[in-house]
């Protein structure tokens, strides 16, 4: 038998495969790099009643960047998992000494990397639009903390959806709706401070992008600071990831019992 | 006796609270280095048993050990012993090349990258796929895809290999390649192979031992030669004669006559050869011209069909 590498090797393996898939599907990435900035500008136009208002461009830009990550991490990973089930490769990937949740986390990392070109395209569009409207959005390296928090918390959500797929299969609609609900409830378009108190509380508790978006707005935009502070920003994604691993493991056990692991 | 490479003990699996058992109290002890044929009609419980052995399905009761490691409680160690080609699945990624697949699955099995690459190179060379290693598997023929699937199962050099219908959908040449490879894996590399297939000639040729499962229960489990000889107690004879069946004398019990072109074939399943000689004498008395008299040895297919018809077995 060959030497067993640390579990990190398994994550690296998944990241490598995810990036190979990304290269294979480069056309999809190019389409996203074009459509997401257009989508961003349209949102600002609609909210601004036909005008690209400077006061809307920056807050929506931050939400849109976060949305890019949640879209990639949830949709890309969910559909790749569904593809594995449908093609019958999933069972083969289970014949490993390594925990399957690690593989999904590896896919999360590659999905986060896959989100970067689109996120950068949206950012570049936003910077240009803001500059053309006489505004300025200064880059602050501290935003890497909420960006990472968003990516980690979204990993928890993706784990739950992948676990549900193992048992219930045709849950694509749940994935689509959950991304849409999270996009709205996460404060992508409307800041949490503008939402009813109970809605903002639920969002800060459960929506993986909500504290991250709030923190990015706090860092990059002037104005009153909101949210539950940096401790919650770091704690919430870790909790969501932990819940994701626990739910995934339980659903995987149920799939093994019911025999639905590789069935579609 | 060694520790069985695959040790299945009182295995049962029932889907849902009220379902009939898909696998019912199955026990098999497969010794290291054995090619073990696991036969049964569709829905008999073969794939369910294999999936439990591979840790893809949880048993209702009983268990499976791979080289002494319980699949349920020592999953990681058990999976290190195992490679499998599963029925009706792609088993490998068609969007990746053969090379990328083998390296990916090698690392998935816990190999270091350098070791996985070295092993992938060996396997692809052995399978005559080296020149096409960078082509996507989706563009390969069915036989080549199956070769890659088997290579992926073997990339970590596991001592135990489960092959569930590995020749399904393959043409004659590809089937022969897979068959030769199974023989090599066992004879030269000492691997333990659990093979399910509907190609009984392949089982007869390759397998040291055969188990037959029906309705979730094992109804026979013997060395292949013993199983065949068990059914040779009653011999089948085939007598070919000229002319139609109407010229024949009244045939004794156990014999049937069927027109065969311009002649007739009489087939008899008898316990005592004297019955055949007596019949030949009677045919001569009637001046029926004999073309041939042959003793038909039952193959595994005959044994299998007999077992499927019998109500209860060993």
Which tops the pLDDT comparison, A170 or A236?
A236
Q: What is the mean pLDDT of chain A?
A: 87
pLDDT at B159 over 90: yes
Distance CA B67, CA A96 (A): 16
**A153-162, A172-181, A221-230, B39-48: segment of lowest average pLDDT:** A221-230
Q: What is the pLDDT of residues B176-231, one digit of tens each?
A: 888 888 898 888 888 999 999 888 888 888 999 999 999 899 988 989 888 877 76
Query: CA A177: distance to chain centroid?
Result: 14
- A5 contact residues in B (CB cutoff 8 A): 107, 110-112
Give the strand order in the sheet containing B160-164: B82-85, B160-164, B192-196, B35-39, B209-214, B217-223
Mutate to test the interface with B, among A10, A88, A97 (most CBs of B within 10 A): A97
Residue with tokens 């949640």: A70
Give the model's pLDDT for residue A3: 43
Q: Which residue has the higher pLDDT, A5 or B19?
A: B19
In this prediction the pTM is 0.81
Q: Which residue of A has its CA nearest to B116?
A: A2
The answer to whether residue A2 is domain-embedded is: no
The CA-based diameter of chain A, rounded to the nearest angstrom, is 66
pLDDT value at A238 more than 80: yes
Over residues A219-228, the mean pLDDT reads 74
Which of B80, B91, B100 faces A88 most closely, judged by CB atoms?
Answer: B91
Tokens of B231: 């059914």
Nearest CB to A92 within list B89, B107, B156: B89
Report which secondary-structure segment, H or E, holds B175: helix B172-187
> In Å, how far is B194's CA from the nearest CA of chain A?
16
**Residue A263 falls within a domain, yes or no?**
no
- The residues in B 65-94 lying below 8 A from A, measured between CB atoms, are 75-77, 79-80, 82-84, 86, 88-94
For A177-186, give one letter per residue: b (16+ CB within 10 A) or e: ebbeebbbbb
Domain total for chain A?
A: 1
Whether A256 and B92 lie within 8 Å, measured CB to CB: no
Task: Tell me, yes or no, whether A29 lies in a domain.
Answer: yes
A contact test, residue of B107, B119, B138, B191 with most A CBs within 10 A: B107
Tokens of B215: 């309705």
Task: Decide if A100 is inside a domain.
Answer: yes
DSSP H or E stretch at residue A216: helix A210-220
Residue A3 lies inside a defined structural domain of this protein:
no
Q: Do B88 and A20 touch (CB under 8 A)?
A: no
A225 falls within a domain: yes
**CB B206, CB B179: distance < 8 Å:** yes
Q: How far is CA B111 from the centre of its chain?
A: 30
Neighbours of A39 (CB within 10 A): 14
Tokens found for residue B245? 């069946």
The full set of domains in chain B, from first to last, is 6-229 (3.40.50.300), 233-296 (3.30.70.250)
Q: Does B55 touch chain A (CB under 8 A)?
A: yes
User: Is the residue at A264 inside a domain?
Assistant: no
What DSSP element (H or E) covers B235?
A: strand B235-242
In a domain, A1, yes or no: no
As a whole number, mean pLDDT of residues A161-168 equals: 90
Q: Is A6 on the interface with B (CB under 8 A)?
A: no
Q: Are B91 and B37 in contact (CB under 8 A)?
A: no
Mean local confidence (pLDDT), A50-65? 88
Q: What is the pLDDT of residue A4?
A: 46
Across the interface, whether the CB atoms of B58 and A253 are under 8 A apart is answered: yes
B125 touches chain A (CB under 8 A): no
Question: CA–CA distance from B33 to each of A66, B5, B48 (Å)?
Answer: 55, 8, 23
Provide the 8-state DSSP code for A75.
I
Interface check A259 vs B, CB under 8 A: yes
CB contact under 8 A, B15 and A91: no
Say how far apart CA B265 and CA B287 lie, in whole Å.
Answer: 16
In 3D space, the residue among B72, B32, B73, B76 whose CA is nearest the CA of residue B55 turns out to be B72
pLDDT confidence bin for B13, thresholds 50/70/90 = very high
End-to-end CA distance of chain B: 22
pLDDT of residue B64: 96
Give me the domain span that covers residue A230.
8-258
E strand or H helix that includes residue A105: helix A100-132
Cα–Cα distance, A170 to B36 (Å, whole number)? 38
Tens-place pLDDT, residues B238-269? 899 998 888 888 888 888 899 988 899 998 88
Rounded (10°) CA dihedral B267, B273, B277, B282: -50
Mean pLDDT of A57-78: 88
Which of B110, B136, B139 to mutate: most A Cβ within 10 Å?
B110
Q: What's the CA gap between A136 and A126, in Å, rounded?
A: 10
Q: Does B289 touch chain A (CB under 8 A)?
A: no
State the complex-level ipTM: 0.83
Minimal Cα distance from B109: which residue of A? Answer: A96
**pLDDT at res. B19:** 79
Going by C-alpha positions, the residue among B210, B273, B214 that lies closest to residue B239 is B273
State the Cα–Cα distance between residues B166 and B154, nearest whole angstrom. Answer: 13
Which residue, among A98, A49, A80, has the nearest Cα to A172 in the 3D structure? A80
Angstroms from B207 CA to nearest CA on chain A: 24
């Amino acid at each position: 038998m060959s030497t067993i590498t640390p579990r990190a090797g398994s994550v690296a393996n998944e990241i490598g495969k995810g990036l190979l898939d990304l290269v294979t599907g480069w056309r999809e990435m190019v389409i996203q790099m074009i459509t997401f900035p257009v989508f961003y500008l349209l949102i600002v136009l609609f909210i601004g009643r036909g005008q690209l208002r400077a006061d809307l461009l920056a807050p929506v830009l931050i939400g849109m960047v976060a949305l890019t990550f949640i879209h990639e991490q949830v949709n890309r990973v969910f559909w790749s998992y569904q593809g594995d089930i449908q093609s019958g490769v999933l069972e083969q990937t289970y014949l490993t000494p390594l925990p399957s949740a690690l593989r999904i986390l590896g896919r999360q990392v590659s999905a986060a990397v896959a989100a970067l070109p689109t996120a950068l395209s949206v950012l570049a569009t936003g910077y240009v639009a803001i500059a053309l409207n006489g505004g300025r959005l200064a880059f602050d390296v501290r935003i890497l903390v909420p960006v990472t928090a968003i990516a980690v918390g979204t990993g928890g959500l993706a784990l739950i959806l992948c676990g549900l797929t193992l048992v219930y299969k045709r849950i694509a609609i749940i994935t689509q709706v959950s991304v849409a609900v999270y996009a709205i409830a996460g404060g992508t378009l409307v800041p949490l401070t503008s939402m009813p108190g109970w809605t903002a509380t639920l969002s800060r508790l459960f929506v993986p992008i909500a504290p991250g978006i709030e923190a990015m707005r706090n860092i990059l935009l002037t104005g009153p600071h909101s949210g539950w502070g940096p401790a919650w920003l770091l704690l919430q994604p870790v909790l969501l990831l932990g819940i994701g691993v626990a739910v995934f493991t339980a659903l995987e056990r149920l799939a093994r019992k019911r025999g639905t692991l590789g069935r579609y | 006796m060694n520790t069985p490479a695959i040790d299945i003990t009182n295995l049962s699996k029932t889907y849902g609270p009220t379902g009939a058992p898909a696998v019912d109290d199955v026990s098999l002890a497969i010794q290291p280095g054995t090619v073990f044929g696991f036969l049964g009609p569709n829905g008999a419980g073969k794939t369910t048993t294999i999936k439990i052995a591979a840790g893809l399905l949880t048993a209702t009761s009983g268990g499976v050990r791979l080289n002494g490691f319980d699949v349920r409680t020592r999953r990681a160690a058990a999976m290190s012993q195992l490679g499998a080609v599963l029925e009706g699945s792609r088993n490998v990624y068609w969007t990746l090349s053969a090379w990328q697949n083998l390296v990916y699955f090698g690392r998935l099995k816990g190999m270091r990258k350098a070791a996985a690459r070295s092993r992938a190179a060996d396997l692809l060379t052995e399978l005559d796929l080296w020149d096409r290693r960078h082509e996507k598997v989706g563009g390969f023929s069915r036989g080549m895809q199956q070769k890659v699937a088997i290579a992926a199962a073997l990339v970590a050099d596991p001592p135990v290999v489960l092959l569930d219908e590995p020749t399904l959908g393959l043409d004659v040449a590809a089937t022969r390649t897979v068959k030769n490879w199974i023989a090599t894996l066992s004879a030269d590399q000492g691997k333990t192979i659990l093979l399910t297939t509907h190609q009984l000639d392949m089982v007869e040729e390759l397998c040291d031992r055969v188990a037959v499962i029906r309705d979730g229960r094992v109804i026979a489990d013997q060395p292949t030669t013993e199983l065949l000889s068990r059914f040779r107690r009653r011999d089948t004879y085939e007598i070919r004669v000229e002319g139609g069946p109407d010229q024949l004398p009244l045939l004794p019990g156990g014999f049937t006559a069927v027109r065969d072109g311009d002649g007739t074939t009489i087939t008899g399943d008898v316990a005592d050869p004297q019955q055949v000689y007596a019949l030949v004498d009677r045919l001569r008395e009637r001046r029926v011209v004999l073309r041939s008299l042959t003793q038909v040895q039952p193959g595994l297919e005959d044994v299998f069909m007999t077992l499927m018809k019998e109500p209860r077995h060993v």
